[in-house]
Amino acid sequence: MRRFFLSLYAALLAFFFAQVFSAQVLGLTGIYRAITAIPLTLLLTILAILVYWRWSGNAFLAQLPEEIAFPAWANRTLAIVGMLLVLAIAVLPTALWPLSPVSETLHWDAGAYHFPKAVELYKSGNVWDLSIPYGEFPFGYESMLSFALLVAGKETFFGLVHALTALTVFLGLWLMARRATTLPDGVLMFLLGLIFVSEAVTVKANPFYIFLDQSHMIGKNDLFLAMGVIAAFAHAPLGRAPQNSRVHLPGLVYATLLVLATKPAGMFAVTPLWLPVLWDWFKGWKNTPRWRELGFATFFIVPGGLWAVRNLFIIHTIFPEGVWEMNEWSIANNLTNPYFYNYLPRNFVFLLLVLGISLLLTLLRRKPYWRISVAFLILFVGFIFTPESGFMKTTQVPTQTAWRLGIALVAYEVVVLLALFEPLINAVLKRLPAWIIAAPAVLIALGLMIYTRDLYRLNPQNAIVLRDEFREPVGVDGYHSAYDFVQKNLRNAVIQIEGGVFYYMYGPGYTNSPTKLHYPLGREHMVPQLDPQYLVVIPHGDPFEPSADFMKKWKIIYRDPEGIVLERIAP
């Protein structure tokens, strides 16, 4: 059973790695097209799977802790039920998006830059245009959406990409827990499945709500980053005992590439994982040089950071000034801020409690094994140094912990809790008949799937989320809104958008070229900017009162209570 789960996990991880690696190379060389990206991704996926198993996969599988004795039929039943819980509640509704009721509103990040960056890579075949919103950011997650566009030509598989990401996160959580405990595979899968979808029952006082919350959040890269970080910890030299702490080098390499190509803040947690690996190589280098391992890691990780070289070449810095400002909103930068201490969220306090108990028990009783507690501490430190982890835009308001940036930390919190309660859980499993455990588990799972049945109420009207922010008509002259006017009337046009959703300006076939004229933040003068032919303003309640001089250059061609479209007057 564990071989099946690990095989599925390895295949998904290999696919994500292959696609992102291909996009880094092809996007930076300007040849990211269907004819190059799809075959290269498929070829690399196959090779990555083969390398995963032939390099150290079987040995890695063999060193997983031996599970305690538990009837095979009950173990399989619980494993199937746990997987079905995640598939039914977290994965399938997301795969059916936008027809399913998840993400009925396009998140600001998705419409502002994640989807646009994917479209620009799809249209141009390169990643050298930094005038698009946050074009200087890494593009690992967006390249997955671009790949979906290459395959379908539209957003058909955007939901599927996110659904597979959620499944990979769950399987990574299972592997981390499998390495840290002796719980039976099925019991572990069921418990983790319950935890993963627990937000379906309650959000309040639920320290694990973020799993399902982000599984249903289409168009953000936080879950994708967590997938990479979790994969790194799942393959690093971390286990319940020294004999269970073998490193799986290909898995760690694949994960590091994903993190580096998605969000550099993730490297706060991943970089320390390489220290014991490099130290081991260094100690034995005289007798056993590790050129093969070093070359493999370098060749497949470095492309994940080439976006930084691109930025240095174009804007002479890795990130412009407007981006560095986000560091001010991290928890680490506000440890003396009263707004942080006076308004500590309960979930954060609970995590601190778990971390403290883990470290204390490791020191006093050496359980959990010190590597597990140190890994938990590494993730915690990495999280508090992550930009925007504690505040957003201002530090003069009560802190709001950005758990979307700490999904991997919460995942390891689950692992530590299971490791702490492992003796109790195993004692229960030994004393109770298997059917007393399996029967309620099946009933609980069925109850949860019935309780969440609304997730499968498909509604074609929900597809409007891909075209408009207004679900009900707000337009005039038969148009749904100003977005609808643009999509029906403008083609191959350069459109400046202010106040509205950038993504909705592309129109059918993505023929239009939206622009904001102020990216990259603070260094917009260093990159070529498009010359707008049209201006779309979605004021969101703010009055639009253009000056007389302004109206000498623009004329209004459409106006409704929520939006205005202007055309530039030829000089």
- Domain limits, the chain: 1-324+434-454, 474-568
Residue 331's pLDDT is what?
87
Whether the CB-CB separation of 140 and 224 falls below 8 Å is answered with yes
Average pLDDT value for residue range 324-339: 83
Other Cβ atoms closer than 10 A to 286: 7
The C-alpha R_g of the chain, in whole angstroms, comes to: 25
Instruction: Say which range, 107-111, 113-117, 343-347, has the weakest mean pLDDT.
Output: 343-347
Token pair of 178 as six digits: 């499998």
Least confident range from 44-53, 76-85, 546-555: namely: 546-555
Residue 299 burial class via C-beta count within 10 angstroms: exposed 0-12, middle 13-18, buried 19 and up: exposed
Mean pLDDT of 88-93: 96
Integer Cα distance of 206 and 202 in angstroms: 7
Tokens of 545: 């009162």
Lowest mean pLDDT among 14-18, 204-208, 395-399, 404-408: 395-399
Quick one: 36 exposed, middle or buried, by C-beta within 10 A (0-12, 13-18, 19+)? middle
140-179 tens-digit pLDDT: 999 999 999 999 999 999 999 999 999 999 999 999 999 9
Q: Give me the numbers of helices (H) and strands (E) for the chain, helices first please.
A: 23, 5
What percent of the chain shows pLDDT beyond 90?
76
Q: What digits encode the pLDDT tens for the residues 212-224?
A: 999 999 999 999 9
- What number is the average pLDDT over the span 482-496? 96
For the stretch 258-316, pLDDT in tens is 999 999 999 999 999 999 999 999 988 888 888 999 999 999 999 999 999 999 999 99
Reply yes or no on whether the pLDDT at 13 is more than 90.
Answer: yes
Q: Is the dihedral of CA 522, 524, 525, 531 positive or negative?
A: negative
Binned at pLDDT 50, 70 and 90, residue 521 comes out as confident
At residue 568, the 3 state secondary structure works out as strand
Query: How big is the CA angle at 253 (ends 375 and 188), to the nearest 5 degrees?
Result: 50
What are 386-415's pLDDT values in tens digits? 988 888 878 878 888 889 999 999 999 999
Q: Specify the pLDDT at position 262.
A: 96
pLDDT at residue 285, rounded to an integer: 86
Average pLDDT over residues 353-359: 94
- 56, pLDDT greater than 80: no
Whether the Cβ atoms of residue 368 and residue 419 lie closer than 8 Å to each other: yes
Peptide bond between residue 368 and the one before it cis (omega within 30 degrees of 0): yes
More confident residue, 205 or 211: 211
338 or 194, which is more confident:
194
- H-helix or E-strand containing 447? helix 434-451
Beta carbons of 387 and 266 less than 8 angstroms apart: no
11 by DSSP, 3-state: which? helix
| Token representation of residue 457 | 């109420």
The pair of structure tokens assigned to 439 is 């029967």
Query: Which residues lie closer than 8 Å to 391 by C-beta, 6 or more apart?
Result: 329, 334, 339, 397, 399, 400
Q: Is the pLDDT of residue 73 over 90?
A: yes
- pLDDT tier, 241 (very low <50, low <70, confident <90, very high otherwise): confident
Q: How many residues does the chain have?
A: 571
| Cα 229 from Cα 407, distance rounded (Å) | 9
- Give strand pairing partners of 495: 514, 534
Give the whole-number percent of the chain exceeding pLDDT 70. 100
In this structure, of 66-75, 256-265, 394-403, 556-565, the range with the lowest mean pLDDT score is 394-403
Global pTM reads 0.95
- At residue 312, the pLDDT reads 95
Predicted pLDDT of residue 71: 92
pLDDT tens by residue, 413-446: 999 999 999 999 999 999 999 889 999 999 999 9
Yes or no: say if 115 and 239 are a contact pair by the CB < 8 Å rule.
Answer: no
Spatial contact of 399 and 345, defined as CB atoms under 8 Å apart: yes
What is the residue-averaged pLDDT of the chain? 92
76 has a pLDDT exceeding 80:
yes
Residue 299: both structure tokens together = 């060749």
Determine the Cα–Cα distance for residues 21 and 254; give it in Å rounded to an integer: 9
